Amino acid sequence: MRYISTRGASPTLSFEDAVLTGLACDGGLYVPEFFPALSAEDIAGFAGQIYEDVAFIVMKPFIGDAFTDTEFREIIARAYSVFGHDARCPLKQLAHNHFLLELFHGPTLAFKDVAMQLIGQMFQVALGRAGKSVTIVGATSGDTGSAAMEAFRGLDAVNTFIMYPHGRVSEVQRRQMTCVAGDNVHALAVDGDFDTCQALLKDMFSDFDFRDRMRLASVNSINWARILAQVVYYFTSAVALGAPYRAVSFCVPTGNFGDIFAGYVAKRMGLPIDRLVIATNQNDILHRTLQSGVHEKNDVIPSISPSMDIQVSSNFERLVFDLYDRKGSAVAQLFDGLRADGRFDLSPGALSRLRNEFDSGRVSEAETSRAITDFMRRTGAVLCPHTAIGALVAERQVDASDTPVITLATAHPAKFPDAIEAAVGVRPNLPKRMVDLFDLEERATRVAGDLAMVESVIRERTNI
């Protein structure tokens, strides 16, 4: 399998290179040259299989010869052995025709673990074989940073530095970064806000001397391997409900459009998905795009579902590429417009294709909080704020059709204790395997929001 850029002006790459490169040099995102198809028999054969075996079959056509079959099976096995549930991503019934896909049984309690654990193992094998090492640098406002640190800790081919805004992440989120044991993972508490961290990251990648010497790499949400890992649970959950003989719909709490794009990939591969429903909080750029055909950035308004507080929905570009018959020049023109004017208009043809596959809904802050209370009262389930948004939007879908709907439960409620306590009056408990989180020693380096200072800390720690 080869990978091409959504803007059509970068060299095609192998899986390995696409994953290590991240952003294409024309500013586009890498996508596979085509979507490999699985037959109905292939899909039917997933029934009763363990998660890892399905993962191997679903992802195999995408990785080319990056790994031997044995290597790839071992990578998958190691990635998911740390999950706190045998089924890895179990499906639970919430109400008639409404199911929850629990994606929070990984080490940091959010779905980001599903992809990050896999990427960590992939990097280790690919780099180890080549005798190389890389320095991964990331900026986080919450869930991605801790997932990356957990995934890369102890892997000797990788040093990892995660910048977070000092004093501006929740205690659980901070401890999930500062309490990670491992000499190769480093939490940097930056004086500034999330934008400061992101700007530092961007400047670091533009400092070519530093970038090349440190062999900087990134595992942000546009990394193709992250999408790929997420395709798997669409298959396992749909098959549990009767696919390929019965269609299902999915409702996905969405920010960067990565998780739901993985559902679109599953559908292109042959999984019978009826509707893909985008659920957004008050930062509703995607919902507005579906309503009006205008993709327009607003300012981010902080919410109680912070992992979806996004107005630049990076992975949407991958879908736009398909909506425009995979014409890179058309995509480049649209996204140049977005950068220059903060908006673009979808053509009538592209908009109708978008609406053929996707529905959407927006949930306000008050509705989110009420939904957490309401679902607990009605079903006993305590949902994280992101999941509550998905579940609320999904209910409208369940009422409108006979097709079962699966809502993706993207985080464990204990990750967002303040929002849960405000809604239902009690603080959710951390899972048993994590109860010591508040007793562990914290380890972070406080650093000024200044490129030279951050670079010097990284150089010092890596000895490169």
* Residues assigned a catalytic role: 112
Q: Which of 140, 220, 237, 254 binds ligand PLP (CB under 6 A)?
A: 254
Q: Are 462 and 159 in contact (CB under 8 A)?
A: yes
> Does 413 participate in binding ligand PLP (rule CB under 6 A)?
no
First to last CA, the chain: 34
Which single residue is written with the structure tokens 């043809």? 349
Cα 72 from Cα 61, distance rounded (Å): 12
> Does 317 participate in binding ligand PLP (rule CB under 6 A)?
no
Return the range that interacts with ligand PLP (CB under 6 A); candidates 8-16, 256-264, 360-368, 397-405.
256-264
Q: Which of 304, 411, 430, 454 binds ligand PLP (CB under 6 A)?
A: 411
> Does 221 participate in binding ligand PLP (rule CB under 6 A)?
yes
Smallest CA-to-CA distance from 412 within 440, 450, 384, 433 is with 384
Beta strands 445-447 and 185-190 are: parallel
Token output for 365: 């802050």
> Does 89 participate in binding ligand PLP (rule CB under 6 A)?
no
Query: CB of residue 310 vs ligand PLP: minimum separation in angstroms?
Result: 7
Q: Which of 198, 307, 397, 407 binds ligand PLP (CB under 6 A)?
A: 307
> Does 225 participate in binding ligand PLP (rule CB under 6 A)?
no
Beta strands 30-32 and 2-5 are: antiparallel
> Does 289 participate in binding ligand PLP (rule CB under 6 A)?
no
How many CA atoms does the CB half-sphere of 153 hold within 13 Å? 20
> Does 138 participate in binding ligand PLP (rule CB under 6 A)?
no
Return the range that interacts with ligand PLP (CB under 6 A); candidates 18-26, 202-210, 248-256, 394-402.
248-256
> Does 145 participate in binding ligand PLP (rule CB under 6 A)?
no
Query: What stretches of 61-106 adopt beta strand conformation (E)?
Result: 91-95, 98-102
Q: Which of 16, 102, 143, 322 binds ligand PLP (CB under 6 A)?
A: 143
> Does 361 participate in binding ligand PLP (rule CB under 6 A)?
no
> Does 258 participate in binding ligand PLP (rule CB under 6 A)?
yes
Residue 390: what residue type?
G
> Does 146 participate in binding ligand PLP (rule CB under 6 A)?
no
359, β-bridge pairs: 277
277, β-bridge pairs: 251, 359
Q: Which is nearer to ligand PLP, 127 or 163 (CB)?
A: 163
Return the range that interacts with ligand PLP (CB under 6 A); candidates 115-123, 125-133, 239-247, 254-262.
254-262
Please count the residues of this chain forming the interface with ligand PLP, following the rule CB under 6 A: 16
Query: CB of residue 389 vs ligand PLP: minimum separation in angstroms?
Result: 9
Helices (H) then strands (E): counts for the chain: 19, 16
DSSP designation for 327 = -
DSSP designation for 110 = B
Q: Which is nearer to ligand PLP, 98 or 386 (CB)?
A: 386
Measured torsion, CA atoms of residues 233, 238, 241, 247, in degrees rounded to the nearest 10: 170
**Can you give the binding site for ligand PLP, defined by CB under 6 A?**
110, 112, 143, 221, 253-259, 307-308, 386, 410-411
